[in-house]
Amino acid sequence: MVYELGSSTGVLSSKLARRHAATRARFVGIEKVAEMIAQAQLECGDLPNLGFVQDDINLHPYERADLFVSFCTIQFVPPYLRQTLFDRLYQSLNWGRALLIYEKVRAPDARFQDYMTSLYVDFKLERGYSPDEIVSKARSLKRVQEPFSTRGYLDLFKRAGFVDGS
């Protein structure tokens, strides 16, 4: 069993399911937003080894799994719930299996965070975004997105019981 946490429209789940279609692996995308599930089923409904479930990743009753993947999802989980989520995921994994996350991260200190933010704004401006668009996007994410530093995520892994990798 392979789970994608926060599967959105199913792009990653469908790529994994297509890549491993010849195996017995089953893929499940978990997504909280009904419209995203509907779009995922519309785009990926032809894959027999892939299904989608509308649920909260913090509450879902996970079966034993070989892999959990999360692409820019954990940063939207309230910080006070993250350790419990990592603990549950670790406990749901078969021995020797993995949790892979890809997340935005904060810099290790305020000075580097300011530098990284400045580089990011420059990057957006170079790609044609207006200052108003950049500020509006930052404000819209202010109360819902809370990235940790790399060290913060590694600490979550360690406290949950993960020992290999980084």
What is the number of other CB atoms lying within 10 angstroms of the CB of residue 29?
30
pLDDT band at residue 32 using 50, 70 and 90 as cut-offs: very high
Average pLDDT, stretch 148-164? Answer: 93
pLDDT band at residue 128 using 50, 70 and 90 as cut-offs: very high
Average pLDDT, stretch 41-61? Answer: 94
Inform me whether the pLDDT recorded for 119 exceeds 60: yes
Inform me whether the pLDDT recorded for 166 exceeds 60: no
Average pLDDT, stretch 89-97? Answer: 96
Q: Tokens 């360690």 identify what position?
A: 158
Residue 63: phi and psi, rounded to 5, are -80, 170
pLDDT value for 116: 85
Instruction: Average the pLDDT over each of 48-57, 90-99, 137-146 and give the range with the smallest value.
Output: 137-146
pLDDT band at residue 165 using 50, 70 and 90 as cut-offs: low
**Residue of higher predicted confidence among 154 and 117:** 154
Label the pairing between strands 2-5 and 27-31. Answer: parallel
What is the number of other CB atoms lying within 10 angstroms of the CB of residue 161?
11
